[in-house]
Structure 1
Amino acid sequence: MSPTSTDRVLLPTASAAESLAALRTMLRGHRLLAAGAFVVLAAGTGIGLLTAPLLGHIVDRVVDKRGSDALTVPLVLLVAVALVRGAATAVGSALVARLGETVLAAVREQFIERALRLPLERVEAAGSGDLVSRVTSDVSMIAKSVRQAMPEFTRSALTIVLTLGGLAVLDWRFLLAALVAMPVQVLSVRWYLRRSSPVYAEHRVATGALQHQLLDSIGGVRTVRAFRLNGTHAGLLEQRSASARDLALRGIHIVTGFFSRLNLAEYVGLAAVLGTGFALVDNGSVSIGTATAAALYFHSLFNPVNAALFLLDDAQSAGASFARLIGVSNLPAERAPQGGDAPVDGSVKVTALGHAYASGQPVLADVDLEIRSGERVALVGASGAGKTTLAKLIAGVHEPSKGAIALGGVDTRELGPAGVRRAVTLISQEVHVFAGPLAEDLRLARPEATDDELRAALTHVGALEWAEALPEGLATVVGEGGHRLTVTQAQHLALARLVLADPPIAILDEATADAGSAGARVLETAAVRALEGRTGLMVAHRLPQAATADRVVVLDQGRVVETGTHDELVAAGGRYAALWAAWSDSRREVPEGA
């Protein structure tokens, strides 16, 4: 049993203040790079502003009929300005992009580092789609902004500021005329931000919900089909897709309205500058060339202003994505161990254990269980009896609602999450094959392992034969984009990693359930060998696997109702005996070898 999608508690999103504080911290070590980028871009932009006065100067010379020789120097200067501005812009943009990529790398690394250390209980409560959407679409949005929006925005902002300064140098009245457009622009921006911020934030959440539903439906496609839930899941996907689509369309509608208002601001401003120029030329305050330069200055603001304000669209999206990444990065670190003791052996003691995923709906109640070091115990019970929940509590995936768990004589609260992970390894039926060489996949369990140790681990679980038969043996690239392993091979790989990790306690949660009959028998043998020399707790999907255990613990409705060896429980004629009889009858009805 697990929380339903309606019970999801999304991972946190940072506030604006937290996001700015995180950004300042990341930039603190790159002040020289930031200053260099600003200086180079400012110099290039300032030099580029000489274009309008030079063109105005050419107009004045033409009006004065100075002849073509008088235009040579201004034209040469125009070419020089263009070349210098282009070079400075290229260098400055490269420096800005480098700064952005550095910050992006820091954000990504900080997020991944913290995400990998999140308690699994927290990830399950949020739903895997929430975390996946942050590490995919949110990172992609920030990357796009860093590589495209940030350099453009920096150039545009500098152009706007320096151009307004250039208008003031020509004549302060031109600056006032240009500023007539500002109220329209300010009101447009306020209108846009007020409407777009919530839409983009909601769209991020809706995208996460959609990805969660996709993972849920596609990942559990066999269960969906088995229970004829195709229509239900298709409806949920359609509903969440429609929600994400509608929010995206609302965003586009807001952007369209925003730019129509900016076009009005351009018209108002240019009309004011041209009118001012006409008046000043008419009364002899400025020359036609100066008025031309002022008009060119204001016209040159169209693209930078529109770009800067348009990039608010990307900035809003990137800001929302950044806040979602920082929200996870700011989560508190794992609880530190309260004591310095380490488990003395592989024993497990569960005392008065209770757990509930939702208030008032207990999954386990007053469970007492002792497992001796080196003992192999099978957990058996009907679906929903609490087997997997008990296994996850012992593995530290969840914290119990009440009661206590001791590993090797040490309370798990004293060990802390890291200590529990060192003592317990959990292997479920959902085994992941990481992309890369098979040898490196194995070394995730023990990075320093030699090739001989890898082969020994594979031999121990009976997997060396197929591993060496791969196209390049242990060097074969497996996983996404590589050689696809079968379900049985993937589980074999997980059991070999267990041998390499060598924890004192191992938990197998239905680790052979997806392999089919023949594969399950192979994996059951491999599991028994992998558990040699350590305490083993098996959530038994196949009762023959339970029959090989030292002891069987039967759960029903969250309570331990029977415990003993296979033979003892069959002889007792209780719940386990009924389950065994039902299993034996079903096997007799299935043809041999099925």
Structure 2
Amino acid sequence: MIGAPTPEYDPSAPSHNSATTLPVGSSATVRGYVRELGRRHRVAFAVLLGVNTVAVVASMVGPFLLGDLVQTLADGRRDVHLTRTVSLFLAALAVQACFVRLVRLRGAVLGERMLADLREDFLVRSVALPPGVLERAGTGDLLSRITTDIDRLSEAMREAVPQLAIAVVWALLLLGALAVTAPPLALAVLVALPLLLVGCRWYFRRAPHAYRAEVASYAGVASALAETVDAGRTIEAHGLGERREELSRGRLKNWVDWSRYTLWLRSVLFPVINMTHVLILTSVLMIGGGFALHGWLAVGALTTGAMYAQMLVDPIGMMLRWYDELQTAQASLARLVGVREVALDEGDGALAPDGREMAADRVRFGYLPDTDVLHDVSLNVPPGTRLALVGPSGAGKSTLGRLLAGLYAPRTGEVTLGGAALARMPAERVREHVALVNQEHHVFVGTLRDNLRLARPAAADDELWDALAAVDAQEWARGLDGGLDTEVGSGGATLTPAQAQQLALARLVLADPHTLVLDEATSLLDPRAARHLERSLSRVLDGRTVVAIAHRLHTAHDADVIAVVEEGRISELGSHHQLVEAEGAYAALWRSWHG
């Protein structure tokens, strides 16, 4: 886990307080995903390496020709053949230029394809996550992964991965050419190896943890800011501005501390790399010069070898530079593939509901360990029943509704539909039978028709208009300039909160589930409009099982059964008239509602 001490943890590093709630992928998960990407694009990788090999071989022709020319002159020969040498050099230069262009083109295409795969894989996996996982995670962490982490990975996918592969091939070919041309100089290059190994070992023992902590601390900043902006009016109403500012400052300081720490790590590594470059060239010239003076190495071979050694500076620098870039990318990649570590129950054929009766049996549930919100709740909802959950704010009504909708799994006990446990059914199967409509409604960018067809892709236009009519939305929908073809959402026609709510209810009509959980689905409408809409919906909901989390008691009045939830328990159960006559908690709420 990010922030936990490890054997490579540096005590001088800043402390870390992660706000991440979605998991961060383990090293095994990251390696597995990288291998999967490699298999998908193995042909493109092979083409890239082949093209790069041609480009590198062409780049080695110039030093070889120069070394041959120096050796010819050192031997006192006058048959220099400058015309042939220059022609060969120009031809090699043209081949190199052509294939370097191909290398960059193939590398960029490969990087873009891998980045597209990563985006698509993350989106598909995120959509498949259990709704309860996403609700507990909040928007900040998920938003930072799909934006900041993708941005951090963009350069790595477009540049680092292809360039690192290119640099490795380049270095191996140069070392091979050096070993063939001047074997002693290949050994001279190894003089700089200890310094490079010590510097890199020091850096890479600290860098992975530091980069992960930096990325996670930035996610904490994004989460705090997103939540503050989203709940700005509530924060202002309750005078929580200073507390939120203090939280944001603390997370921002943590992020800045980690950013400074990773900058300090790089400020140590890069001078080591520069010293390595100087040491390579110096050792090659000094050792090669000594060999040449004693006649153990030809002057031409020394010239060619020295140029090959100088050319090694570029691929070594590329490898270290892009490997360092990959440390940041690896941290972001671990956060993106971390969603793969969320268990997805694929379900079992034996878990198919046998009937439509919904039941909760001695259910206990809490959002925090050892802190339950619901305590031993038992409830039976026969098919076609209209159940209203009422009670004071914070009593657990919405939590119970989400359990009945299959969003959460109970800590103990079981919630079943037709005898099948909802918690062990895949989310898609649950949604086929049970739908939840709450107070949060989203208008997707696209046409009004596209927004409606999210619930039923094959729906005809007549069915879409019928669904809008069922929720009293037909009038304003026909008033739009393009009707169903009107672009809505960001950049298009703006829908009011009440219209967005009606759009969500129209999707519900199209989805046609047999059991509905309504968490104050008409809260954004004024009471008169809400009452009118509920009467319209009653015709649509006829014959379905409806669980209504009622904050307005007129909703409960029309229900078949009312469950009064108090302090996480069902204290009363019965019809409206029965509970009023019982003179209990519901009767008190009813009298308070009517003044």
**TM-score, reference length from structure 1:** 0.89
User: In structure 1, what is the equivalent of residue 141 of structure 2?
Assistant: 130
SS at match of 2:407: coil
> In 2, Cα distance between the equivalents of 1:486 and 1:476?
15
User: In structure 2, what is the equivalent of residue 375 of structure 1?
Assistant: 385
With over 3 angstroms needed to count, the CA separation of the structure-2 counterparts of 1:251 and 1:481, relative to structure 1, is: farther
Q: Point out the more displaced range, 87-96 or 310-319.
A: 87-96
Aligned-partner residue type, residue 310 of structure 1: R
Contact 2:498-2:525 at 8 Å conserved across structures: yes
Aligned-partner residue type, residue 155 of structure 1: I
User: In structure 2, what is the equivalent of residue 90 of structure 1?
Assistant: 101
With over 3 angstroms needed to count, the CA separation of the structure-2 counterparts of 1:153 and 1:331, relative to structure 1, is: same
User: In structure 1, what is the equivalent of residue 240 of structure 2?
Assistant: 229
Q: Point out the more displaced range, 207-216 or 195-204.
A: 207-216
User: In structure 1, what is the equivalent of residue 210 of structure 2?
Assistant: 199
User: In structure 1, what is the equivalent of residue 400 of structure 2?
Assistant: 390
Once the two structures are TM-superposed, the CA of residue 8 in structure 1 deviates from its matched residue by 7.0
Alpha-carbon displacement from aligned partner over 1:8-52 (angstroms, at most 9, x marks no partner) = 773333333332233223433543333222222112111111122
Contact 1:338-1:413 at 8 Å conserved across structures: no
Aligned-partner residue type, residue 179 of structure 1: L
Contact 2:149-2:336 at 8 Å conserved across structures: yes
User: In structure 1, what is the equivalent of residue 87 of structure 2?
Assistant: 76
> In 2, Cα distance between the equivalents of 1:557 and 1:340?
32
2:475 aligned with 1:465, yes or no?
Answer: yes
> In 1, Cα distance between the equivalents of 2:520 and 2:527?
13
Alignment counterpart, residue 65 of structure 2, candidates 44, 49, 54: 54
2:168 aligned with 1:173, yes or no?
Answer: no
> In 1, Cα distance between the equivalents of 2:117 and 2:539?
43
User: In structure 2, what is the equivalent of residue 208 of structure 1?
Assistant: 219
> In 2, Cα distance between the equivalents of 1:581 and 1:448?
48
With over 3 angstroms needed to count, the CA separation of the structure-2 counterparts of 1:153 and 1:33, relative to structure 1, is: same
User: In structure 1, what is the equivalent of residue 268 of structure 2?
Assistant: 257
Alignment of 1:155-166 (within 5 A): 155-166=166-177
Alignment counterpart, residue 10 of structure 1, candidates 12, 21, 27: 21
> In 2, Cα distance between the equivalents of 1:167 and 1:25?
35
Alpha-carbon displacement from aligned partner over 1:339-392 (angstroms, at most 9, x marks no partner) = 2543433x4222322222234422112223233322322211111101001000
Q: Point out the more displaced range, 434-443 or 69-78.
A: 69-78
SS at match of 2:594: helix
Contact 2:564-2:573 at 8 Å conserved across structures: yes
After superposition, the CA RMSD in angstroms is 2.8
User: In structure 2, what is the equivalent of residue 590 of structure 1?
Assistant: none
Q: Point out the more displaced range, 76-85 or 253-262.
A: 76-85
> In 2, Cα distance between the equivalents of 1:362 and 1:332?
23
Alignment counterpart, residue 423 of structure 1, candidates 433, 453, 459: 433
Alignment counterpart, residue 501 of structure 1, candidates 485, 503, 511: 511
Q: Point out the more displaced range, 217-226 or 575-584.
A: 575-584
Contact 1:380-1:546 at 8 Å conserved across structures: yes
Aligned-partner residue type, residue 156 of structure 1: A
With over 3 angstroms needed to count, the CA separation of the structure-2 counterparts of 1:92 and 1:526, relative to structure 1, is: farther
> In 2, Cα distance between the equivalents of 1:517 and 1:255?
62
Once the two structures are TM-superposed, the CA of residue 177 in structure 1 deviates from its matched residue by 1.7
Contact 2:131-2:407 at 8 Å conserved across structures: yes
With over 3 angstroms needed to count, the CA separation of the structure-2 counterparts of 1:15 and 1:529, relative to structure 1, is: same
2:549 aligned with 1:539, yes or no?
Answer: yes
> In 2, Cα distance between the equivalents of 1:522 and 1:79?
84
Aligned-partner residue type, residue 273 of structure 2: L
User: In structure 2, what is the equivalent of residue 44 of structure 1?
Assistant: 55
Contact 2:49-2:166 at 8 Å conserved across structures: no
Once the two structures are TM-superposed, the CA of residue 426 in structure 1 deviates from its matched residue by 0.3
Alignment counterpart, residue 358 of structure 2, candidates 348, 351, 354: 348
Contact 2:422-2:430 at 8 Å conserved across structures: yes
Contact 1:506-1:535 at 8 Å conserved across structures: yes
2:488 aligned with 1:478, yes or no?
Answer: yes
Aligned-partner residue type, residue 64 of structure 2: P
Once the two structures are TM-superposed, the CA of residue 448 in structure 1 deviates from its matched residue by 0.8
2:316 aligned with 1:334, yes or no?
Answer: no
User: In structure 1, what is the equivalent of residue 163 of structure 2?
Assistant: 152
Alpha-carbon displacement from aligned partner over 1:491-525 (angstroms, at most 9, x marks no partner) = 11110000000000111112233445566456545
Q: Point out the more displaced range, 540-549 or 482-491.
A: 540-549
Name stretches of at least 5 consecutive residues in structure 1 with no aligned partner: 1-5, 586-594
Aligned-partner residue type, residue 313 of structure 2: F
User: In structure 1, what is the equivalent of residue 12 of structure 2?
Assistant: none
Once the two structures are TM-superposed, the CA of residue 395 in structure 1 deviates from its matched residue by 0.5
User: In structure 2, what is the equivalent of residue 305 of structure 1?
Assistant: 316
2:123 aligned with 1:112, yes or no?
Answer: yes
Contact 1:101-1:147 at 8 Å conserved across structures: yes
Contact 1:343-1:423 at 8 Å conserved across structures: no
Once the two structures are TM-superposed, the CA of residue 147 in structure 1 deviates from its matched residue by 0.7
2:457 aligned with 1:450, yes or no?
Answer: no
Q: Point out the more displaced range, 182-191 or 134-143.
A: 134-143
User: In structure 2, what is the equivalent of residue 487 of structure 1?
Assistant: 497
Alignment of 1:392-411 (within 5 A): 392-408=402-418, 410-411=420-421
> In 2, Cα distance between the equivalents of 1:540 and 1:221?
26
> In 1, Cα distance between the equivalents of 2:99 and 2:529?
65
Aligned-partner residue type, residue 534 of structure 1: R
> In 2, Cα distance between the equivalents of 1:231 and 1:401?
36
Alpha-carbon displacement from aligned partner over 1:308-344 (angstroms, at most 9, x marks no partner) = 1011121112222223333322443314136254343
2:451 aligned with 1:441, yes or no?
Answer: yes
How many percent of aligned residue pairs carry the same amino acid? 37
User: In structure 2, what is the equivalent of residue 592 of structure 1?
Assistant: none
Alignment counterpart, residue 302 of structure 2, candidates 285, 291, 298: 291
SS at match of 2:142: helix
Once the two structures are TM-superposed, the CA of residue 145 in structure 1 deviates from its matched residue by 0.9
With over 3 angstroms needed to count, the CA separation of the structure-2 counterparts of 1:401 and 1:286, relative to structure 1, is: closer
User: In structure 2, what is the equivalent of residue 584 of structure 1?
Assistant: 594
User: In structure 1, what is the equivalent of residue 565 of structure 2?
Assistant: 555
> In 2, Cα distance between the equivalents of 1:460 and 1:350?
31
Alignment counterpart, residue 317 of structure 1, candidates 321, 325, 328: 328
**TM-score, reference length from structure 2:** 0.89
Once the two structures are TM-superposed, the CA of residue 113 in structure 1 deviates from its matched residue by 2.5
Q: Point out the more displaced range, 293-302 or 267-276.
A: 293-302
> In 2, Cα distance between the equivalents of 1:79 and 1:363?
78
Contact 2:345-2:424 at 8 Å conserved across structures: no
> In 2, Cα distance between the equivalents of 1:82 and 1:8?
54
Name stretches of at least 5 consecutive residues in structure 2 with no aligned partner: 1-16
